[in-house]
Amino acid sequence: MKNSILLIFLIVLVSSCAKDSDLTTDQANFTRIYDNNKFDASNYPIDIKQTSDGGFLILGGRRLTDSNFSGAYLMKVDQLGMFVSELEVPSDKVTPIGPLLVVNDKYYFFTMTAIGLKTELHEVNADAAITKTIPVVGDGGGGYPAAAYNDNGRFLLLRYDNVRKETVVDVVNTAGVTSSFIGFSVGRSDAVEAPIIEHFLRTGKQFPFQVGKTSSGNYFFNGFYNYTFSLVFTDLVSDQPGVVQGQQDDGGFSYLMPISGNSFAAARFNFGDNYLLPLVTLNPSDISSSVDLGGNNLPELANNAPVRIISATVNGKDLSLYGSNTRSKQISLYGYEKTTGKFLGSRYLGFSNPYEITAMTATKDGGLAVCGTTYVAGRFPRICLFKISREELAKSFK
Amino acid sequence: MIACCLALTAQGQGKKRAANFNASKTKANANQFIEQQWWLGFKSGINWAQADPLKRYTILLPTNYSSSAVEKKYDAFQEIGIQTTVEISYYYKGFYFSTQPGYISSTFTYSNQLQWVNPTVSNEKLTQTYRQSQKVEYAEFPFIIKYDITGSKLRPYVQVGVFYSILLNAVKTVSVSSLDEAAGGTNTITSEPLIVGVKDLFSNYGGWMGGVGASYQLGNVRLVLDASYRQSLSNIVNPQNRFANDRLSGIGDAQDDLNLKNVVISAGVLFPLRYLSSNFKSNDR
């Protein structure tokens, strides 16, 4: 009898110790919203990178009271998504652009000066502290940075030159020196320039400016060219580029991720509609129209929704993982097999308060971090971060 | 109903057995009866629950104010739950070795408050109160040792035991109320509560219990009233699914690791299963 009683007590005790939280579980999945209790605080993320300590560095923008442009903001969170530190970059640095560019464990991003409108390059450590600010010299110092790309340690800087009325691609090194550049006319018309300036002031449509390089060595940018928001291929020398035209400022590509050769995972917008093209081949030396490319029309997406695409490995498959915003104010994720474009599944993040995507990054543990903006209490824009584990991704994208 | 049927069956068997007894053994059997007995019965009652955070989790992380300002505050034993059990006890020399499998439903509550202020106009602010009511339902399998303090008709007893609870269901109700003092006046906004099934958020758990009670002999049956305190020995939350529910994450709720406590009051009736006849009363003579 005594042994039986002891056995019962032992069984209950052992069964009670099996499911405590641990660090691995806690950092596998989480949702965080970084709140500021001031009415007028308005931060929005631009890009996120996982740091070597497992935490995350977030580059953002913030509303300024003494400038029409947005200021820069940096935040460090740990591997659990817990807030560590923030930096409100002084308001003389405006219009920060992403992505965060990583060279030798240092992080870089561009802004421009509020007075003089000159481009600057900021070097940041993994703790969200600016360690160096470098004025960009040469053509790249001309202001209005719109997008950037890390080309093996040198940076491609896409910017709008408001004097020459050109979209310019500058090649800038980590010392801020411009080694080469090429400009393409946007067209000499106030009607063309107005939406560009409104983009920088954040008073109008936010255009998906992008610059990058294909695996076959072609450079490309997504920006204004010849009166139209277009995808332009360039060798950084010739002034006769290949172009995939949009529809003035009402159509064009939302995002492109080179896959191989001239193949891309892409998304495009056209008069509010959104089309996902999980595997599309583009001609880098011809002139064509994005309207002719078709694609999967997703009526659930918000008008001219921003789209992000990253490579991820889920269930042993290479995916093109799309992130966008739905009309129901959720963040939507869509997975497509990278080499075939086959649809593998979708997932939705957020509820009740509006959620909007800004950036995604695959994490070292095989999961995914999605950074965006939510409107706390339906009104205060705040940065949010979703961490999704490898196992959860495997359930969503089979 | 089941308990009554079992009791009647037991009574019939007892009568058959009693008929075979010869008179010379009566006294010895009576003594044996006093020393040991099986009891079967049922109990029902109400309980109050309180959850204590073992480890706190939050979705909303302040960047310019203290995190204690948004911390959840757990209410102590506020909402009433119900429970019903079947009791099977073996009595031996004042001790009862009892199992009381049953159903228990508990509700615990907590709340937290968020506030945003206009730094330039201090009386302009928005205050939001999130009130969460969490109902959890379990099948419980306790093993309890009871001891009769006296052997009279009214028998007070003490009891101690362990239990294992298997999760049946869990539902969370979230109510959000806002006091908006930033729209040119004072406006109280109460939204319809959000009701979410959250079975995935909880798990089975084990615990211990202790309490006091009393039984009263009424004919061959005993009426029982007892009170006990129960506490989980581990986290009742499934940490794997803490952030899995987008509806809850979306409104900023992450379940803390929790220790569940209950104060339980039950009343019921017990029937003796052995030597039940007109010659042998279940109480000691």
* Residues of chain B with C-beta less than 8 angstroms from the C-beta of A40: 118-120
- Does residue A256 lie within any of the structural domains? no
Of B61, B162, B248, the CB nearest to A83: B61
In a domain, B190, yes or no: yes
CA angle A357, B113, B124 (to 5 degrees): 85
User: What does the pLDDT read at residue A2?
Assistant: 58
Give residue B3's pLDDT band: very low, low, confident or very high (50, 70, 90): very low
The three-point CA angle A31-A103-A154 to 5° equals: 125
pLDDT greater at residue A272 or residue B121: A272
Q: What is d(CA B34, CA A45) in angstroms, rounded to the nearest whole number? A: 77
Which whole-number Å values give the CA distances from A1 to A4, B101, B127, B207, in the listed order?
Answer: 5, 20, 59, 21
Q: Which residues of B touch A30 (CB under 8 A)?
A: 242-243, 254
Question: What is the predicted pLDDT for the residue at B27?
Answer: 54
Instruction: Find the residue in B nearest to A24 (Cα).
Output: B240
In the structure encoding, which two tokens stand for residue B11, read together? Answer: 């009574």
| Rounded Cα–Cα distance for residues A311 and A320 (Å) | 5
B39/A368 Cα distance (integer angstroms): 58
How many other C-beta atoms are found inside a 10 Å radius of the C-beta of residue B162? 23
Q: Helix, strand or coil for residue B177?
A: strand
Nearest-Cα distance to chain B for A36, in Å, is 6
Contacts of A321 (CB under 8 A, 6+ apart): A309, A310, A311, A312, A314, A333, A334, A335, A336, A360, A368, A397
Q: Does B63 contact A35 at a Cβ distance shorter than 8 Å?
A: yes
C-alpha dihedral (A143, A146, A152, A154), degrees to nearest 10: 0
Closest approach of B136 to chain A, Cα-based (Å) = 17
Q: Say if A24 is an interface residue toward chain B (CB within 8 Å).
A: no
Residue A316, Cβ density class (10 Å: 0-12 exposed, 13-18 middle, ≥19 buried): exposed
Q: pLDDT at position A161, please?
A: 94
Q: Which residue type does B24 have? A: S
Given an 8 Å threshold on Cβ–Cβ distance, is B119 in contact with A38?
Answer: yes
Does residue B253 contact residue B174 with C-beta atoms inside 8 Å? Answer: yes
How far apart are alpha carbons A250 and A273 in whole angstroms? 10
Length of chain A: 398
* Shortest CA distance from A348: residue in chain B: B246
Of the candidates B62, B114, B246, which has its C-beta nearest A349's C-beta?
B246
Instruction: Tokens 């008709």: give the residue.
Output: B153
Q: How far apart are CA B92 and CA A111, in angstroms?
A: 84
CA distance B62 to B93: 61
Tell me the chain B residues in contact with residue A23 when contact means C-beta distances shorter than 8 Å. none
Q: How far is CA A198 from CA A95, A152, A204, A207, in A?
A: 12, 32, 5, 10
Residues of A in contact with B163 (CB under 8 A): 12
Which residues 343-362 on chain A approach chain B with CB closer than 8 angstroms?
Answer: 348-353, 355
- Whether residue B224 is predicted with pLDDT greater than 60 in this model: the reply is yes
Establish if B278 belongs to a structural domain.
no
- Domains: count for chain B: 1
Q: Is the pLDDT of residue B1 over 70?
A: no
- The tokens 């129960």 sit on which residue? B230
Domain assignment of residue B285, yes or no: no
Residues for chain B: how many in total? 285
Cβ distance B59 to A32 under 8 Å? yes
Task: Return the higher-pLDDT residue of B247 and B174.
Answer: B174
Residues of B in contact with A34 (CB under 8 A): 61, 63
Nearest chain B CA: its distance from A6 CA (Å): 11
CB B167 within 8 A of CB B199: yes
pLDDT for residue B279 is more than 70: no
More confident residue, B16 or A244: A244
Query: Is the CB of residue B101 less than 8 Å from the CB of residue B139?
Result: yes
Interface contact A65, partner B, CB < 8 A: no
Considering only alpha carbons, which residue of chain B is nearest residue A1? B97
Predicted local confidence at residue A22, as pLDDT = 82
Q: Are A374 and A330 in contact (CB under 8 A)?
A: no
| B17 contact partners, CB below 8 Å, separation of at least 6 | B275, B277
Place of tokens 């965080």: A32
Give the mutation candidate from A35, A333, A385, A392 for the B interface (greatest B CB count, under 10 A).
A35
CA atoms within 13 A on the CB side of B43: 31
Q: How far apart are CA A262 and CA A314, in angstroms?
A: 24
Q: Which residue in A has a C-alpha nearest to residue B124's C-alpha? A: A39
Gap from B162 CA to chain A (nearest CA, Å): 6
Would A215 be classed as within a structural domain? no
**Distance of residue B143 Cα from the nearest chain A Cα, in angstroms:** 8
Size of interface A-B (CB pairs under 8 A): 142
Min CA distance, A323 vs chain B (Å)? 16
3-state secondary structure of B80: strand
Q: How many folded domains does chain A comprise?
A: 1
Domain span holding position A352: 307-398
d(CA B73, CA B110): 5
- The distance of A22 to chain B (nearest Cα, Å) reads 8
Find the CB nearest B250 among A1, A37, A352. A352
CA distances from residue B197 to A136, B133, B175 in whole angstroms, order as listed: 56, 12, 15
Instruction: Classify residue A199: in a domain, yes or no.
Output: no
User: What separation in angstroms does the CA of A311 have from each of A55, A103, A315, A321?
Assistant: 20, 20, 13, 6
Residues in A touching B162 (Cβ below 8 Å): 8-9, 12-13
Helix (H, G, I), strand (E, B) or coil at A300: coil
> Tokens for B175?
């109510």
Q: Hey, is the C-beta of A13 within 8 angstroms of any chain B C-beta?
A: yes
C-alpha dist (Å) from residue A240 to A160, A186, A277, A300? 19, 14, 26, 38
Nearest CB among B116, B162, B243 relative to A39 is that of B116
What residues of B are in contact with residue A33 (Cβ under 8 Å)?
59-61, 252
Q: Looking at beta carbons, which residues of chain B come within 8 Å of A9?
A: 143, 162
Q: pLDDT averaged over consecutive 10-residue blocks of chain A (398 residues)?
A: 60 59 88 92 94 96 92 97 96 96 96 95 96 93 93 95 94 95 88 91 93 92 94 90 90 95 94 95 92 93 96 94 96 96 95 92 96 93 95 94
Q: How far is A376 from chain B (nearest CA, A)?
A: 8
Band the pLDDT of B25: cuts 50, 70, 90: low
Closest CA to A82 of B225, B253, B59, B213: B59
3-state secondary structure of A90: coil
**CB–CB contact A15 B164 (8 Å):** yes
pLDDT, tens digit, 9 for 90 and up, residues B149-181: 987 889 999 999 999 999 999 999 999 999 999
Q: Closest Cα partner for A393 from A373, A369, A374? A: A369
Position of tokens 């040198």? A154
Cα separation, A299 vs A287, whole angstroms = 28
**Do residues A392 and B245 lie in contact, with contact meaning Cβ atoms separated by under 8 Å?**
no
Cα–Cα distance measured from residue B233 to residue B259, given in angstroms and rounded to the nearest whole number: 7
Q: Do A31 and B249 touch (CB under 8 A)?
A: yes
Alpha-helical runs (H) found in chain A: 2-15, 23-28, 190-201, 390-396
* Average pLDDT of the residues of chain B: 86
Whether residue B283 lies inside any domain: the answer is: no
Q: Work out the burial of residue A182: count CB atoms within 10 Å of its CB; fewer than 13 is exposed, 13-18 middle, 19 or more buried.
A: buried
Å between A173 CA and nearest CA of chain B: 34
Nearest to B240 among A9, A25, A40 (CB): A25
pTM above 0.90, yes or no: no
Token code pair at residue B261: 């406590």
Which of A17, A34, A39, A370 is the best mutation test for B, with the most CBs of B within 10 A?
A: A39
Mean pLDDT is lowest, of A96-110, B57-71, B240-254, B260-274, for B240-254
Contact A11 B64 (CB under 8 A): no
Helix, strand, coil fractions of chain B, as percent rounded to 5: 15, 55, 25
pLDDT value, residue B118: 87
A21 touches chain B (CB under 8 A): yes
pLDDT at B44 over 80: yes
pLDDT for the residue A216: 86
Asked whether residue B220 is assigned to any structural domain, the reply reads yes
Residue B5 is predicted with a pLDDT of: 38
Domain of B131? Answer: 2-272
